[in-house]
Amino acid sequence: MYPVTCYYPKLYDTLVHHNADKTITYQLDQIEKTKWLYYKLKTSPNYDTQVVNSSDDSVLNLCHSSKYLNSLKTGKPQPLAETSGLIWQKNLYPAHVNSVWSSIKSSISALNKNISMTLTSGGHHAVADRGYGFNPINTIALTTKYLLTNKIINNIAILDLDVHLGNGTIELLQHTSNIHIFDIYRYTKPEWITRLPSTLPDNIRVYQTDSTNQYFKQLESYLAQIKKLNPGLVIYHHGVDVYKNDRYGGILKFSEEKIHLRERLLLKSLYRHVPIMIILGGGYVKYDNPSLTTSRKKHPPPPPHHLL
Ligand SMILES: [Zn+2]
C-alpha cells in the first residue's frame, strides 16, 4: 500500500476569502486543511507527494458552460464568478485547473497502484453553469468525464461520504449510465436540488440519515454493491464533516473513532479489489476550538505563500 502517492494542486494554497465587509481576510477550512495535509504527508515516508501544475484548461469544458468558465477566468460578471460563495481572485481559475489535473493524475495512479489520493476539494456542489457551497468547479465530475471520454476506463463508482448531498455531481452525471453514484448524507439545501428529478435514475443511489447506526448499515450495503459492480475505479469523496462536532455538519454520535472505523471498513471491503482514488470532502472546525483552527482567528492573517 505504501507509499501512497498524493497529488496536490499548485496555487490552491494561495486562495483566500474575506468576510462580508471585507475587513478580515482568511483562508477557508478546505484550503487550510489541504495545505496542512500536504506539509504533513510531504515529510512522511508513507506518502509520495506530487505538486501538479498545468495550463491545459480544456478539461473544464467537459462539464461546465463556457459562459461560467469565462467568468471564473476573468472575474466578470462578478456575481456569476462568485456564485460558489468564494470571492473571485486571479488564482481562482488556474488553481482549479490544477485541482482537476491532480484528480485525474491521482485516478490514473490508482489504476496502477490500487490507491491514490488528491489533496483538493471534490467540488461536489458545483453544477454546469454555477458554483454552490464554496465549490466553483466540480472536480469529481470532471475527472470521471475525462477518464470515460479518453477511454481510460469504462465504468466508475463514486462513493460520496461528505455529510452534505453531492447535488452537483448527481446533476452532472445522472445521465451517464456507466457512472454509479452512492451518496450517504444528512444535509441538503432546497436550492441544490431544484433541478434534480424527483425520481433519480437507477445508477444514482442516495440515502439520507441522521443516525450513525443507519449510516453504517447503509455503508456496508453500498460497499457490497460497489464490490459486486466491480467498477474500473472508485472515487471516494471522503468528507469528515460527519464528525459530531463539525461546524457545518455532524451526525449525532459520529465520533473520531467512528470515522476511523468508516475508513477501515472501506479499505477492508474495496482495497485490492477495486482501485481507490480518495479526494477530500468537507470538514469544518469550530472557531472556539483553539487546537483546531488557525487562520480564521488571525487578524490579519499571514500572507499566503506559493508552494515551490
Ligand atoms: Zn460537506
Tens of pLDDT along 118-149? 999 999 999 999 999 999 999 999 999 999 99
pLDDT at 292 over 70: no
CA distance 49 to 42: 6
Q: pLDDT higher for 266 or 177?
A: 266
pLDDT at 295: 54
Band (pLDDT 50/70/90 cuts) for residue 70 is very high
Measured in Å, residue 151 CA sits from the centre of ligand 1 at 30
Measured in Å, residue 284 CA sits from the centre of ligand 1 at 9
pLDDT at 6 over 50: yes
pLDDT at 296: 53
pLDDT at 73: 98
Measured in Å, residue 133 CA sits from the centre of ligand 1 at 8
CATH architecture, domain defined by 4-297: 3-Layer(aba) Sandwich (3.40)
Measured in Å, residue 299 CA sits from the centre of ligand 1 at 26
CA distance 54 to 150: 18
Q: Quick one: average pLDDT of 241-252?
A: 90
Q: Quick one: average pLDDT of 93-119?
A: 98
Measured in Å, residue 240 CA sits from the centre of ligand 1 at 8
Band (pLDDT 50/70/90 cuts) for residue 305 is very low
Q: How much is the CA Rg of the chain, to the nearest whole Å?
A: 18
Band (pLDDT 50/70/90 cuts) for residue 288 is low
Measured in Å, residue 244 CA sits from the centre of ligand 1 at 13
Measured in Å, residue 82 CA sits from the centre of ligand 1 at 19
Q: pLDDT higher for 289 or 57?
A: 57
Q: Where are the domains of the chain?
A: 4-297
Measured in Å, residue 34 CA sits from the centre of ligand 1 at 15
Residues of the chain with pLDDT > 90, as a percent, come to 82
Measured in Å, residue 202 CA sits from the centre of ligand 1 at 24
pLDDT in tens, 166-223: 999 999 999 998 999 999 999 999 999 999 999 999 999 999 999 999 999 999 999 9
pLDDT at 152 over 90: yes
pLDDT at 301 over 50: no
pLDDT at 302: 37
Measured in Å, residue 246 CA sits from the centre of ligand 1 at 10
pLDDT at 287: 61
pLDDT in tens, 21-56: 888 888 888 898 899 899 999 999 999 999 999 999
Task: Answer yes or no: are the C-beta atoms of 129 and 85 closer than 8 Å.
Answer: no
Look-up of cell digits 455529510 = 163
CA atoms within 13 A on the CB side of 181: 29
pLDDT at 293 over 70: no
Measured in Å, residue 138 CA sits from the centre of ligand 1 at 13
Look-up of cell digits 467540488 = 123
Measured in Å, residue 125 CA sits from the centre of ligand 1 at 9
Average pLDDT, whole number, for the chain?
92
CA distance 233 to 187: 26
Measured in Å, residue 298 CA sits from the centre of ligand 1 at 24
- Ranges assigned E (strand) in 203-304: 204-208, 233-238, 276-280
Q: Which of 31-45, 84-98, 292-306 has the lowest mean pLDDT?
A: 292-306
Measured in Å, residue 307 CA sits from the centre of ligand 1 at 26
Measured in Å, residue 111 CA sits from the centre of ligand 1 at 27
